[in-house]
Amino acid sequence: KDGKDRIVFVTKDEMSTPSEAMIAMDEEEVHDGPVGFVQPNGELNFGCPCVGGLHAGPCGYEMREFISCNFYNSKDKDDPRGHECDDKMYAMMQCIDKHEEYYKHKMSSDPEDEDDDPFAISDDQGEEEVSTSHIDVSSSIVTQNPTPDSTSS
Amino acid sequence: MHRLVPSSRLFSRSITSLPRKIKHNNCTYDHLCVRCLSNQSNQQGNHHEWSSRHSAYATVAATSIVSLYLLVKSLKRDEDRWSCYRSAYCQKKHVVPGAIPEAKASTLSKDNNKTTESEQTDKESSDTELPLYKYLIVGAGTSSVSAYRAIKARDPKAKILIIGEEPDVPYERPPLSKELWYVDPAVAKEYKIGKSKRDSIFYEPRPFYLSPKALQEAENGGVGLISGKKVVKLDGQKKKVWLNDGTEILYEKCLLATGGRPKNHPVMETADKDVQDRTILFRNTSDFTRLHEAVEKSKSVAIIGGGFLGSELACALGFKGLKTYQIIQEKGNLGTVLPEYLSKHTTEKVQESGVDVLTSLTVTEAQYNNNQVELTLSDGRKISVDKVVVCVGLEPNVDLAKTSNLELDEKHGGFRVNAELEAMSGLWVAGDVSCFYDIKLGRRRIEHHNHAWVSGKLAGENMTGASKMYRYQSIFWSDLEPYVSFQAIGIIDSNLETYSVFEKPPEKKRQRKKKTKESNLEIAKKTTEESLGTNQEVSKDTGSEEEKPKEEFNKGVIFYLRGGSIVGILLWNITGKIYRARQVISDGCRDEDLYEVAKLFFAPRKRRTED
């Protein structure tokens, strides 16, 4: 004990016995809003940290429209090639051409980059950004690797 | 609303009908006018009756006509006024060809705008010529970025204008005292922590941000940026800001994220110019550049301040090979944050990193001497260095309060806001400058990066109607390379009572032993006297072989306690447990055995389905 500060030293073994502590937590205090890009109800969450600033860019709206369209139509068996969203894709491409300067920078290939498409719809959301962005809501104890150096959180 | 004014056609119809009625009343009856009445002497009885009734009708009719006429006239006036008002209202929303030199935009637009009308209305009052933005952010730092992302996510076509004083686009601050010092200098010069494009500290390159004009014309919204300008006045009721170049801008919702500027040391502030030229108040990219360049030319540096910034820079400069002094007022590095024993330990580690840490000392004088700065310390010692870096704290940028009648918090500094980060309707404050009410931990102001991000995001969500309180706690971390690394959440104040559990390093057969008087640590014995009923283990107390005077604080968790609850958690060299820390803070663990709670942070990484 150092005055008001109590210190306990333990061995690794002592610490690996299961804890008896009971923790009751408030969802709002452990999750910062909806988690992940694809929500349990099937909707897309553009506030996901994985989106980064893409939806806020000069063509953010067009991209959002196209991606949403693509996502909802991907389930449509009648249109396997996704022609339903052609107009939205065209609008997006036009916008990108207009803002070439920014998107050229964004889209250009970078040998150092191991780019992971955040919009690839898969079950595994990936462990990209900081802590709570990809928590599997059903599990209460989640393995985390907070990456404080990440730029988007 | 214009429907309330009945159409003039209706009135005209009713007006024209009346004279006919009146006429009908007066003279369709044979000789039943006043003239006639006077002539109707022989039909007196009936005529009298008729005439009196008739005169009554006449007067009524006359008054009705007159009053109706007056009524119609006044309504017409109102209608004119109404259409005036309507156009003024329109003009407020739909600006007229532009008065503003900065924003050459000629039209303002709302999401549901009527731009065609605006060009026809004339300039009635000066306010109607000003550009209006739905979302305005004052300050171009981290909070602004998370705010605009949150706004755009919830309001997809939003137009957001950011006004920043610094010449740079928004960037991430932590690398300026951490990563940038440990990468290749050529890469660091460009403010990148790696060779990849994504390793830039800037959140977005400049082309991401639209000019104010382009922003106004952007049909589907976007984010605009004005760099190098300062907002000098804000009127929360008129929802108007004034820039330092005279520009006036109207807004609907505004976020203040003005951050802070570094405090100066009283001695350095009043020193000679030669001394001041060699002093850096570290905060921005330009300060980083200055110090980074100085490293190549200098041999020695003194850092005044023992907090996060000072300690991180000290380790970085020590790493770079400079003779580094760190002058600390407290007893050890991070003395205001870590419990004393840990602060002492940290100081030792910083010293091992190559820094000469001078504790419990202040600078009393600073003189220019032979191309160096000679600092005199409070114990009389003098040290001479090539450069001085001052890291003594942050002054929140609350200049706006003087001109804008915004409430300041005296205890914590910063603008005072509620739990939803709102100062008044339509005005939010986030980041370093926000003194907000945390419903769990009380009123606070936090100067860390993750808080800037979390509060900016929350403010952005609330600006789009979320009405959320600050409940999700922000974290902070520090890396004092290469030995010390920790993450923390909640209130981390060395004045609070703490309870810590450290894991002994496995390799060494270290045995517990009673501490010497100097280090003043005691191994807790198993007792039941503790008020919280915590179990305190005693290690196997076989005779120790190697008597080391100091304990190794290898890996551990520190709980900061207030009123019996855990209000802060510091994870010392433990990673991947922030989520768990959040859970613990959320719970508070008043009645828990803290030893058991601590175990949660040492458990190996695995998924559990139940908690």
Distance set, CA B262 to CA B362, B414, B473 (Å): 18, 14, 25
pLDDT confidence band for B73 (50 / 70 / 90): low
Domain-located, residue B153: yes
Bigger pLDDT: B558 vs B82: B558
Q: How far apart are CA B102 and CA B83, in angstroms?
A: 31
Q: Each residue of B165-192: pLDDT tens digit?
A: 999 999 999 999 999 999 999 999 999 9
pLDDT confidence band for B452 (50 / 70 / 90): very high
Q: How far apart are CA B80 and CA B8, in angstroms?
A: 12
Handedness of CA B264, B268, B272, B276 (dihedral sign): negative
The pLDDT value given to residue A146: 42
The pLDDT value given to residue B42: 39
Say yes or no: B327 and B370 in one domain. yes
Interchain proximity B197–A105, CB inside 8 Å: yes
Q: Which of A55-69, B7-21, B331-345 has the lowest mean pLDDT?
A: B7-21
Nearest chain B Cα distance for residue A89, angstroms: 15
Q: Each residue of B364-405: pLDDT tens digit?
A: 999 999 999 999 999 999 999 999 999 999 999 999 998 998
The pLDDT value given to residue B418: 96
Nearest to B582 among A29, A112, A151 (CB): A29
Strands (DSSP E) along B139-243, which ranges?
Answer: 159-164, 222-227, 231-235, 240-243
DSSP string, B4-41: GS--HHHHHHHHHHHHHHHHHHHHSSTT-SHHHHHH--
Say yes or no: B139 and B113 in one domain. no
pLDDT over 80 (residue B39):
no
pLDDT over 60 (residue B231):
yes
The pLDDT value given to residue B74: 54
Domain-located, residue B367: yes
Number of A/B CB contacts below 8 angstroms equals 252
What integer is the mean pLDDT of B254-269?
Answer: 95
pLDDT over 70 (residue B592):
yes
Q: Which residues of B touch A54 (CB under 8 A)?
A: none
Distance set, CA A51 to CA A31, A123, B10, B332, B449 (Å): 17, 16, 58, 42, 20
Q: Which of B196, B191, B169 is nearest to B179 (CA)?
A: B191
- In our burial notation (b when 16+ CB lie closer than 10 A, e otherwise), range B31-48 reads ebbeebbeebeeeeeebe
Q: Name the closest residue on chain A to residue B575, using Cα atoms.
A: A145
Say yes or no: B101 and B136 in one domain. no
The pLDDT value given to residue A79: 62
Domain-located, residue B506: yes
Nearest to A58 among B157, B210, B589 (CB): B210
What integer is the mean pLDDT of B260-266?
Answer: 95
The pLDDT value given to residue B440: 92
Query: What interface predicted TM-score (ipTM) does this complex get?
Result: 0.74
Q: Which residues of B touch A62 (CB under 8 A)?
A: 220
Q: Which residues of B touch A2 (CB under 8 A)?
A: 339-341, 520-522
CATH assignment of the domain containing B350: 3.50.50.60
The pLDDT value given to residue B165: 96
Bigger pLDDT: B274 vs B530: B274
Q: Which residues of B touch A51 (CB under 8 A)?
A: 149, 153
Share of chain B above pLDDT 90, in %: 63
Q: Each residue of B97-112: pLDDT tens digit?
A: 434 444 433 334 344 4
Domain-located, residue B7: no
The pLDDT value given to residue B497: 94
Taking only Cα atoms into account, the Rg of chain A, rounded to an integer number of angstroms, comes to: 22
Q: Each residue of A114-126: pLDDT tens digit?
A: 555 555 544 444 3
Q: Which residues of B touch A33 (CB under 8 A)?
A: 461
pLDDT over 50 (residue B21):
no
> Encoding tokens for residue B223?
């984010």
Interchain proximity B611–A28, CB inside 8 Å: no
Say yes or no: B320 and B347 in one domain. yes
Nearest chain A Cα distance for residue B236, angstroms: 26
Interchain proximity B583–A30, CB inside 8 Å: yes
Partner A contacted by B337 (CB < 8 A): no
pLDDT confidence band for A19 (50 / 70 / 90): confident
pLDDT over 50 (residue B340):
yes
Interchain proximity A47–B536, CB inside 8 Å: no
Interchain proximity B340–A23, CB inside 8 Å: no
Nearest chain A Cα distance for residue B353, angstroms: 22
Bigger pLDDT: B254 vs A107: B254
The pLDDT value given to residue A17: 78
Say yes or no: B523 and B449 in one domain. no
Domain-located, residue B512: yes
Q: Which of B92-96, B506-510, B532-536, B556-560 has the lowest mean pLDDT?
A: B532-536
Four-point Cα dihedral B338, B309, B269, B364, nearest 10: 40
Of the three residues B365, B392, B419, the one that is the final residue of a domain is: B392
The pLDDT value given to residue B549: 44
Phi, psi of B555 (to 5 degrees): -150, 130
CATH assignment of the domain containing B551: 3.30.390.30
Say yes or no: B377 and B432 in one domain. no
Partner A contacted by B525 (CB < 8 A): no
Domain total in chain B: 4
Does residue B44 sit in helix, strand or coil?
helix
Bigger pLDDT: A79 vs B149: B149
Interchain proximity B154–A47, CB inside 8 Å: yes
Residue ranges making up the domain that contains B494 = 480-602
- Select from B145, B152, B463 the residue whose CB has the most chain A CBs within 10 Å, as the one to mutate to test that interface: B152
Phi, psi of B498 (to 5 degrees): -130, 155
Domain-located, residue B23: no
pTM, full prediction: 0.74
Say yes or no: B354 and B270 in one domain. yes
pLDDT over 80 (residue A49):
yes
What integer is the mean pLDDT of B413-419?
Answer: 96
Say yes or no: B529 and B561 in one domain. yes
Say yes or no: B310 and B424 in one domain. no
When the pLDDT of each residue in chain B is averaged and rounded to a whole number, the result is 79
Q: Name the closest residue on chain B to residue A9, using Cα atoms.
A: B502
- Select from B177, B203, B220 the residue whose CB has the most chain A CBs within 10 Å, as the one to mutate to test that interface: B220
Interchain proximity A60–B222, CB inside 8 Å: yes
Interchain proximity A2–B341, CB inside 8 Å: yes
Domain-located, residue B58: no
Domain-located, residue B516: yes
Say yes or no: B318 and B422 in one domain. no
Say yes or no: B375 and B421 in one domain. no
Is A121 in contact with A38 (CB distance < 8 Å)? yes
The pLDDT value given to residue B107: 39
Interchain proximity B524–A21, CB inside 8 Å: no
Q: How far apart are CA B517 and CA B608, in angstroms?
A: 44
In the block, tokens 């010497």 appear at B516
Bigger pLDDT: B229 vs A16: B229
Say yes or no: B506 and B539 in one domain. yes
Q: Name the closest residue on chain B to residue A46, using Cα atoms.
A: B153
Q: Each residue of A70-106: pLDDT tens digit?
A: 888 876 666 666 677 889 999 999 999 999 989 987 7
What integer is the mean pLDDT of B54-67?
Answer: 56
Partner A contacted by B422 (CB < 8 A): no
